[in-house]
Amino acid sequence: MRTAYTADQIRGAEHELMARLPEGTLMQRAATGLAAVCADLLGRVYGKRVVLLVGSGDNGGDALYAGERLARRGAWVGAVLAGSKTHEAGLAALMRAGGRVVERDALERADLIVDGLVGIGASGALREPYRALVEEANAARGPIVAVDVPSGVDAGSGRVEGPAVRARVTVTMGAYKTGLLVDPGAEHAGTVELVDIGLGAHLPDPDVAALTGADVDVLLPRPGNESDKYRRGVLGVAAGSDTFTGAAVLAVGGALRAGAGMVRYAGPGAPVAQVRAHWPEAVVTELERPSIDDVGRVQAWVLGPGLGTGDWAHEVAAQVLASSVPVLIDADALTLVARDRGLLRRPAPVLITPHAGELARLIRADRDDIEAARLEHARRAAAELGVTVLLKGSTTVVAEESRPVRVNVTGTSWLATGGTGDVLAGVAGALLAQGLSCYDAASCGAFLHGLAGRRAAEGAPLTAADVATAVPAAIRAVTGGGRLS
């Protein structure tokens, strides 16, 4: 599992470790790792032009000492001193190795730019001269390597207020920072390389975690010799309407592809016909009135994709939520709950799967504010509503009160197309029915859905049906039967 920490957590661990080591040890470890990544990116170091953007803090010191190492390997290294002060020992080391102090116009000719302007303690918009330097660096031809976190990105949240470095690679020291895993910060970070400086034993419980394929492999349920379709998980799906028939087809398909032992679909006539045509495996109940009494026993429900938001849909939602099994609430059902929060007053677990606009309605917030601070608002919603939250978007996050937020790292921008959320609801719902908690079902469902999206797209447009078809291959990949990419 990849774990990430806030700036305060990192600083606390660093202080504990520094008290046990000779002065400067951590900076030298960081500089060695940084220089190695820079050398790999340059390919041939000798004769290459490297420009360091040096701020007042320890990031500037890391950059200077890394520049010293590159200069000793034959690189032309120049430092733009932008801070009110400079790490004197680092600058002296760079100068002894043949480096020099340069003006900002050196950026235009740089083969590599090292961003050591601000570190993990910075927040808010960059001030001058950092702001202008960042804009010039982003416009230069050379790739940027950010030290610890790209300047302009809030290390604790991923917020970006104004110009921020767009790094090819971010070399982060000791542990991942929360803001490197969550957009918009993650988008600015590029590839993140972790340099081990010895913090591990001194770190507290993480702020954020990202599952790996191995983690999902451990969590996924497997059928045993005694399994039958009932023991493998029976999922109820209340979705679709005469207007939106496809949502029901996609949600049921996602659930079947994700291994539900049985899917019981309940809906009106038009989507019933479509589900029967596409998925003869599903057990279908046509609802002539808004009652789920005849659907049969289920172990979890998916509620909402394409359901509509009128009185009929509200009554179906009320009956599903009155049940004693876990319920995943998606799409139209989120609109119903936003209007009537009393629907959430139930003893059984609830997983909601909103995008930013739906979450905005649920917690009376601004959509743009949610996009800018996804962790903060997902946590707020989990606490305020008493549910598990899977917030969809450029970074999918899963929040549950008193647990580290989980960030999904497998998605692709090609998933931004109609119907893929319906497939995700079916996948996560199937995992709920198979016995996973809301927290694990949401996290594993997002991982598999993102991986299926990557496999279905392979750099080209996809449809939601393509994603559903690719789910079994994604499961095979994490359980050892295929490639994880």
Measured in degrees and rounded to the nearest 5, phi and psi for residue 252 equal -65, -40
Whole-angstrom distance, CA of residue 215 vs CA of residue 414? 25
pLDDT for 94-149, tens place per residue?
A: 999 999 999 999 999 999 999 999 989 888 899 999 999 999 999 999 999 999 99
In this prediction, residues 446-460 reach a mean pLDDT of: 93
Cβ atoms of residues 302 and 330 within 8 Å:
yes
170 annotated as belonging to a binding site for a ligand: no
DSSP state of 160: B
Query: H/E element holding 138?
Result: helix 130-139
251 annotated as belonging to a binding site for a ligand: no
**Residue 39, token pair as written in the block:** 């050398």
Confidence (pLDDT) at 174: 94
**Residue 113, token pair as written in the block:** 């730019």
Total residue count of the chain as it appears in this document: 485
Confidence (pLDDT) at 481: 56
Class in CATH terms, 213-478: alpha beta
332 annotated as belonging to a binding site for a ligand: no
Q: Which pLDDT band holds residue 232 (cuts at 50, 70, 90)?
A: confident
Note whether 2-207 and 213-478 share their fold. no
Measured in degrees and rounded to the nearest 5, phi and psi for residue 388 equal -90, 135
pLDDT value at 67 more than 70: yes
Confidence (pLDDT) at 484: 58
Count the alpha carbons within 13 Å of 458 in the hemisphere toward its beta carbon: 5
477 annotated as belonging to a binding site for a ligand: no
Question: Around Cβ 288, how many Cβ atoms within 10 Å?
Answer: 9
Confidence (pLDDT) at 352: 98
120 annotated as belonging to a binding site for a ligand: yes
Confidence (pLDDT) at 362: 96
pLDDT for 295-335, tens place per residue?
A: 999 999 999 999 999 999 999 999 999 999 999 999 999 99
Q: Which pLDDT band holds residue 482 (cuts at 50, 70, 90)?
A: low
294 annotated as belonging to a binding site for a ligand: no
Amino acid at 51: V
For 432-476, give the DSSP string. HHTT--HHHHHHHHHHHHHHHHHHHHTTS---HHHHHHHHHHHHH
Amino acid at 136: E
340 annotated as belonging to a binding site for a ligand: no
304 annotated as belonging to a binding site for a ligand: no
pLDDT for 72-96, tens place per residue?
A: 999 999 999 999 999 999 999 999 9
Whole-angstrom distance, CA of residue 173 vs CA of residue 11? 11
Extents of the domains making up the chain = 2-207, 213-478
Confidence (pLDDT) at 299: 97
Whole-angstrom distance, CA of residue 309 vs CA of residue 160? 36
Confidence (pLDDT) at 419: 95
61 annotated as belonging to a binding site for a ligand: yes
pLDDT value at 483 more than 60: no
Query: CA geometry: angle at 351 spanning 266 and 298, to 5°?
Result: 35
Mean pLDDT across the chain: 95
When computed from its CA atoms, the radius of gyration of the chain, rounded to whole angstroms, is 26
437 annotated as belonging to a binding site for a ligand: no
Q: Which pLDDT band holds residue 384 (cuts at 50, 70, 90)?
A: very high
151 annotated as belonging to a binding site for a ligand: yes
Confidence (pLDDT) at 344: 95
Whole-angstrom distance, CA of residue 128 vs CA of residue 55? 12
pLDDT value at 152 more than 70: yes
Confidence (pLDDT) at 403: 95
- Give the torsion through C-alpha atoms of 272, 273, 279, 285, to 10 deg: 30
Of 3.30.1370.60, 3.40.50.10260, 3.10.310.30, 3.40.309.10, the CATH number of 2-207 is 3.40.50.10260
pLDDT for 158-190, tens place per residue?
A: 999 999 999 999 999 999 999 999 988 999 999
pLDDT > 70 in the chain, percent: 98
pLDDT value at 480 more than 60: yes
